């Protein structure tokens, strides 16, 4: 019966060590990639929430200017006017999602305003197998649209004095609103019908 030389086991041991080390490296690499992906998704969620919060707050802030524009039939001028992005709302939501707001700016447009927010996560990837990852943090950007969905309202001047007494809004969602500038309803009761807020692609 043939026997295997004892030296074979000694020669195979370094190969096993290299294979185990390689498997450990691959496991660490997969873990690092998974962590980086999770951090990226978390930052994107923070950016989405921050952009939506800023857009919703902007919609809430539109009420005073919107109602002030109605008596003189200046709604179109109001809809194209620049507006300030309430970035404090974006910062609050980014902070709640473990991220920091880096950029926040509005892009006015007729009937379709936008607010873009960029955030940076607070937790680094910090993987020993990814060079430079100790301070590498995930960034993400999101844009929310504020769309006026009740264009071309019918204005009624009962007294023919140049002051509009009633506006009838026929909206794309099928709703019809009648707003008397002299006694407008609470803004929060009509703002979500007049303005839609949603995330859009960059």
pLDDT (0 to 100) of residue 66? 96
**Pick the residue with more confidence: 27 or 143?**
143
Tens digit of pLDDT for each residue in 185-199?
999 999 999 999 999
Residue 128 pLDDT > 60, yes or no? no
**Pick the residue with more confidence: 14 or 100?**
100
Tens digit of pLDDT for each residue in 2-55?
555 555 555 665 665 556 555 555 555 555 556 567 778 889 999 999 999 999
* Stretch (H or E) spanning 103: strand 99-107
- The burial class, CB within 10 Å (0-12 / 13-18 / 19+), for 119 is buried
Cα angle value 138/103/57 (rounded, 5°): 110
On average, the pLDDT of the chain sits at 84
- On whether the CB atoms of residues 104 and 85 are closer than 8 A, the answer is yes
Q: What number of other Cβ atoms are within 10 A of residue 63's Cβ? A: 16
């Amino acid at each position: 019966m043939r026997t295997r030389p004892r030296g074979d086991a000694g020669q195979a041991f370094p190969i096993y060590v290299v294979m185990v080390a390689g498997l450990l490296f691959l496991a660490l690499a997969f873990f690092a990639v998974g962590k980086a992906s999770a951090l990226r998704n978390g930052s994107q969620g923070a950016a989405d929430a921050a952009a939506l919060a800023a857009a919703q707050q902007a919609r809430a802030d539109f009420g005073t200017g919107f109602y002030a524009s109605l008596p003189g039939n200046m709604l179109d001028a109001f809809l194209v006017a620049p507006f300030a992005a309430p970035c404090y709302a974006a910062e609050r939501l980014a902070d709640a999602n473990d991220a920091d707001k880096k950029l926040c700016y509005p892009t006015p447009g007729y009937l379709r305003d936008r607010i873009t927010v960029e955030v940076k996560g607070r937790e680094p990837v910090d993987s020993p197998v990814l060079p430079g990852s100790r301070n590498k943090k995930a960034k993400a950007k999101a844009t929310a649209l504020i769309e006026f969905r009740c264009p071309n309202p019918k204005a009624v001047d009962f007294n023919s004095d140049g002051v509009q007494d009633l506006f009838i809004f026929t909206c794309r969602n099928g709703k019809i609103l009648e707003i008397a500038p002299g006694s407008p309803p609470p803004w929060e009761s009509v703002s979500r019908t007049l303005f839609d807020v949603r995330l859009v692609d960059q």
